[in-house]
Amino acid sequence: MKKEELSFEQAMEQLEKITARLEEGDVPLEEALEEYKRGMELSAICHSKLKKAEDELAKLVTNEGDQPYRLDGEDA
C-alpha cells in the first residue's frame, strides 16, 4: 500500500506500532533508523490529513460574512 493511500487511522496505527517498538529499545541501530524515517513519513501524512480536515471544517463553519462561526456569548 502506498503511503498516499493510507487513511489517517491507518497511518496513526502504524506510527503507534513504530513508536512502541522503538521505545522497547531492543531494535538494532540500522532498523531503528529506518523505523524512525518511516515514522517521520507517517507523521507528515497524519499532519497533512489533519490540516486538510481542519481547512474543510473552517469552510463549513463560516457564516455569510465570511467570519468563523461563533457560539452565542463567545468573544471575537
Instruction: Report the domain count for the chain.
Output: 1
**Assigned domain for 14 exists:** yes
**Assigned domain for 72 exists:** no
Q: Is the distance from CB of 46 to CB of 11 less than 8 angstroms?
A: yes
Type of residue found at 66: D
Question: What Cα–Cα distance (Å) separates residue 56 from each residue in 24, 34, 39, 48, 61?
Answer: 38, 33, 26, 12, 9
Mean pLDDT, to the nearest integer, of 40-59?
92
**Assigned domain for 35 exists:** yes
Domain of 35, in residue numbers: 8-59
- What size, in residues, is the chain? 76
pLDDT of residue 3 exceeding 50, the answer is: no
Nearest to 39 by CA among 71, 74, 47, 76: 47
Q: Which residue has the cell 503511503?
A: 3
**Assigned domain for 28 exists:** yes
Give pLDDT tens digits for 25-43: 999 999 999 999 999 999 9
**Assigned domain for 55 exists:** yes
